[in-house]
Chain A
Amino acid sequence: MSTTSKSGNEKRSVAASLGVLLLALTMILPFLWMLSTSLMGELEVYQFPPRFLPSTFRWSNFTEALTLQPFGRFFLNTAIVAAASVAGQLLFCSMAAYAFARLRFRGRDALFRAYLATMMIPAMVTLIPAFLLIVRFGWMNTYWALFTPMISSVWGIFLLRQFFQTIPKDLEDAARIDGASEVAIFWRIILPLSRPALATLGIFAFMGSWKDFLWPLIVTNRTDMRTVEVGIANFSSMYQTDWPHQMAAAVVVMLPIVLVFFFAQRYFVRGITTTGMKG
């Protein structure tokens, strides 16, 4: 390979990196705006031309936003739902995905397509009947109503099945020859090899239940059973919206997901280094 083409390559990859950095900037600007709004006074919000920094940093917006409503309780409720949802989806989705990716049985593909088909009905239509069921079960205002719809997802099954399919079969075949059961192969080989995918699913399951709005609103009547996203929405009433407090609450509610993302990110990296496939 000649040196000129090499430096051309270098240039191109520097340009690519720069492009990615610039694009990242457009990702963060709206959030800086959100953050700055959360620190503004009521009349300062949306000045024209817009102000990028508050005249004085009103940190009290944050304490007010979190005490105007029982946000501690909202966080607790949401954390319970999110934990159940992550645990449920990691277990149930990976089990189903294993069956679809690795087990041989007749009707497998047809069944998988039937699973997929259920993703295609818009949530707007399943909302009412699912709610009717919750009422019949007597689960209104309970954690059961909040988390049971979240503990499995076809999206997650689809995700994991796609990943399981990329795992080389020789490892399991070797284990099978050693007499390992399918359950053991699933638990000891497939799952450890799928950490990046599991981390991905975990993040999305956490996020899904953390950001869910319409369902928790509909299956709860009492303030003490509500979740953080409902709390944020409550700052918009019929006639006006309290933007500084709403933005402050939105920023605080975002933090746990960002933390979870950072935490799970390590697993992405560890996922590649410890898959055992190098050995």
Chain B
Amino acid sequence: MTRFAAFLLCFAALSLVRGQERVTLRLVDWASLEEMPIDERTVAAFEAKYPWINVLYEPNPGRQYEEKILTGLAAGEPPDVFLLDSKLIPTFTNKRVLLDLAPFIGPLGIDTAQWYPNVLGIARKGSALFAFPKGFTPLMVYYNRSLFRSAGVPEPRPDWTWDDLLATAKALTRDDDGDGTPEQYGTAFTNYYFYWIPWVWSAGSDVVSPDGTRATGFLNSPATEAALAFPIALRRTEHVAPDVGSWIQAEKTGTNYALFANGKIAMIVDGHWRLPKFIRFIQEGTLDVGVAPFPRSPGGSKVNVMYESGWCVPVNAPHPKEAALLAAFMSGEEACRIRSSGRLEIPSVRSVAEESVGSDPTGLERVFLDEVPFCRQPWGSVIERFSEIEWTLQDAVDEVMVNNAPMHETMTRYARRVDNELAEIRKAGSTEFTPLKERSEILTFLWIALGAVTTVSAVIYARSKRGGQGGLALGFLAPSMLHLVVFTATPILFAAYLSTHRWDMVVPDQPFVGLQNFREMFTDPSFWNALGNTFIFSLHVPVGMLVALGVALVLHTRLRGLGFLRALYFLPSVSSFVAIALVWMWIYHPSFGAANLFLSIVGLPKLEWLNSSQTAMLSLMLFSVWLGLGYQMVIFLAGLQGIPGELYDAARIDGAGKFARFRSVTFPLLKPTTFFILVTSLISSFQVFTTVYVMTAGGPVGSTDVIVYHIYKAAWEQLRMGYASAVSWVLFLIIMLATWLQFKTVGSDVDYQ
């Protein structure tokens, strides 16, 4: 801290003397492709105003924004200014990652009164301020005006209640052909905490205690349970909302939005971020959209949630004053005015927000602004690592909604789980950090790895003097060995070191914790659940291999000329994974998907596929067989083609039939290939991640949580890199053991002759 303060002083003194030293700052945000030009304009305005500051604008529109920021912090090279979702602010401030911007307010002449006080307050902690607010949004109800008109239903009044919403939704749900499946739904509901918390709040209740320490007595209180029962019933018993799967499916495939845009859902709950698109639709005349506030509970008060993001500066920024200046500018009046043309959020600057109401011809912006006084700070911006609790709460809703579990028992069980998780987080968060302590140097591990490999090489070389081709072999192995040392051995050593340490990634501190990570792992039921799921998942490998071998044999002997068939089977392997996973999520859609269409054609009962704990894993396995078929088939084919033709001729001369030829020639000679496919496929099935990450996020209720996804959550969501490394080591040992068994049982090396 003293070093930093000294640095700050020196800098201040220097800038007084030299004043106009040219400075370059990196600015990172998650601007979408449409948003990027707006932010470029804002940056240009800043550079015009402060010509001695050069800004490198680095947008990261994809969903991996947090990973991007975290790796930058882990390497000690974060951007100078970055956008942070308010849910990460408590974690980052508790770990002292963010610079307190309050000391800059006076000297830089920043007017804090320009911002909505409740929005600015989100990043306040005592007298410190860790972000300048960019903008925010409550959750609102968007509704399709044309559907209201044609059904003769009055549009929502500003003070409408839950009962009004239910009555409206019923009036707008239509089952014209009377088959029990409506063609048009009144509304939609997904399991995600982010979307359902306003129901609980508006019933005057909550999911955790006011001090944020426990859930028992809150999550399982009658008021909370009644509040949750209401939206769940929209889908389960009232049938005015479609079965859209979990949040992850609805969100990734855009189901809710797409159904709304196509007039199949009359009302959806969503944030301000949808507004630019809807305003465009209104202006094009393609869709007539209205906005209503979140309905109030008949007995409760009026309340809404406020999702916000702000501009932050890391604590070790080399140019803190300039960075603070840029952060303040990006949140300030001029920037808000430039940004408000895109209508992406409610501007944090009050005067600009009010201007934007005036310039909005559709009148929708007004409804949003009227909601501001009722906006409440979300738990995510108060409790550290609350995003983890949000997943648990989502599972609780899933248990009731998807698995038909009884409400009170489920909420009581989950309340206890949340209590434990909150206690764990507090315990982990209470560790004191020494800011700016030197991190362990990655190059040290590189030197150790290099040393080890040099020793091994020296031994091999020395032994080769007594016979053998050791020296020559070393020459052949040198490039791959060097590569392995740098990109694999060093990281593995580092992971081994981390497994007995605690590392939160965003801080340099890595205190030694002995075997605590391993103890935590073995006592964590979700670890065992993930491990069991991983084993179940890997069962798809032998099945897939049998299919692949069959296809390869047919393609090799029968359909030899049809090269394009081979290419067809290979298509899944070459395509962009995200795109193809999305298509499969649609195939698996319970109401609209091709899989159930196929089942109903052949007269089988429909399945819930990804939506049920019973079938979700099976669906992923089926998809993985499909996805891996091309890879396995291509390698089988290459193996088949490596078998010399004259061996078959010889076998034929010996009078061997087709099956005998397969048994005596193909099978033994294909053994190295088969073994190779088995080992590599099993390894990658033990390491399955992307499929789970994209298609289910481990759900429903943990039924598809696998080990690497467990590792991912530990590292990137909980910032427990030490724990993640420990789990990786256990996984490593398991895979080693499995591979060793394969070598012992089927892999005795095949030598020709």
Interface residues of chain A, those whose CB is within 8 Å of chain B, are 1, 9, 13, 16-17, 19-21, 23-24, 26-31, 33-34, 42-43, 45-50, 68-69, 91-93, 95-96, 98-99, 103-108, 111, 113, 115-133, 135-136, 140, 148-149, 151-152, 154-155, 157-159, 162-163, 165-170, 182, 186, 196-197, 199-200, 203-204, 207, 211, 213-214, 217-218, 221-223, 229-230, 232-243, 246-247, 250, 253-254, 257-258, 261-262, 265, 268-269, 271-272, 275, 277-278
Contacts and interface: CB of A to CB of B under 8 A. Distances in A.
A152 B253 contact: no
15 contacts: A9-B658, A20-B565, A45-B258, A48-B259, A125-B728, A130-B490, A132-B494, A155-B680, A166-B642, A166-B750, A217-B67, A221-B28, A265-B567, A277-B644, A278-B646
Secondary structure of the A contact surface, majority rule: helix
Given A124-B711, A125-B711, A277 B646 contact: yes
B687 A106 contact: no
B579 A250 contact: yes
Interface string B21-63: 0000010101111010000000000000000000010111111
A20 B638 CA distance: 18
Nearest to B28: A221
B430 interface: no
Contacts of B472: 99, 103, 105, 182
Given A200-B635, A218-B71, A265-B567, A130 B487 contact: yes
Contact of B75 (A104, A119, A132, A247): A132
A116 B711 CA distance: 22
Given A93-B480, A106-B464, A34 B580 contact: yes
B254 A30 contact: no
Nearest to A33: B583
Contact of A95 (B480, B555, B658, B687): B480
Contacts of A91: 479
B673 A162 contact: yes
Interface string B654-680: 000110000000000100110110011
Given A152-B479, A239-B273, A271-B642, 10 more contacts: A34-B583, A46-B586, A92-B479, A105-B464, A126-B495, A132-B494, A168-B644, A217-B64, A234-B33, A271-B641
Contact of B492 (A99, A121, A214, A253): A121
Secondary structure of the B contact surface, majority rule: helix
Interface string B626-640: 100111001101110
Contacts of B712: 124
Contact of A131 (B71, B446, B492): B71
Nearest to B483: A152
Contact of B563 (A1, A196, A265): A265
B731 A122 contact: yes
A158 B680 contact: yes
Contacts of A126: 487-488, 491-492, 495
Residue of A113, A239, A240, A247 with most chain B CB atoms under a 10 A cut-off: A239
B487 A34 contact: no
B90 interface: no
A166 to B, nearest CB: 6
B65 A238 contact: yes
A162 B672 contact: yes
Nearest to B478: A95
Contacts of B490: 129-130, 133
Nearest to A13: B558
A179 B439 CA distance: 56
A65 B154 CA distance: 41
B443 interface: yes
B714 to A, nearest CB: 10
Contacts of B566: 265
Nearest to A38: B579
Contacts of A48: 259, 262, 264, 591-592
Contacts of B673: 162-163
Contacts of A197: 638, 642
Contact of B736 (A98, A120, A277): A120
Contacts of B31: 237
Interface stretch (B233-241, B535-543, B569-577): B569-577
A27 B637 contact: no
B410 interface: no
* Shortest beta-carbon contacts, A-B, top 7: A237-B32, A126-B491, A129-B491, A105-B470, A99-B476, A120-B735, A250-B579
B75 A240 contact: no
B74 interface: yes
Contacts, number: 387
Interface residues of B, number: 151
Interface in B698-721: 707-708, 711-712, 715, 721
B298 interface: no
Nearest to B584: A30
B477 interface: yes
Residue of B252, B273, B570 with most chain A CB atoms under a 10 A cut-off: B570
A96 B736 contact: no
A258 B574 CA distance: 7
A103 B473 contact: yes
A262 B33 contact: no
Nearest to A123: B687
Contacts of B64: 214, 217, 233
B254 A243 contact: yes
B468 A26 contact: no
Contact of B687 (A122, A229, A238): A122
Interface stretch (B367-375, B386-394, B455-463): B455-463
B480 A122 contact: no
A197 B639 CA distance: 8
B14 to A, nearest CB: 26
Given A20-B555, A96-B477, A163 B30 contact: no
Contacts of B587: 30
A31 B30 contact: no
B642 A31 contact: no
Contacts of B571: 27-28, 31, 258
Contacts of A237: 30-33, 35, 61-63
Given A21-B565, A129-B491, A107 B459 contact: yes
Given A92-B479, A162-B672, A133 B442 contact: yes
A72 B439 CA distance: 39
A240 B254 CA distance: 7
B689 interface: yes
A114 to B, nearest CB: 8
Contacts of B616: none
A162 B675 contact: yes
B442 A136 contact: yes
B739 A120 contact: yes
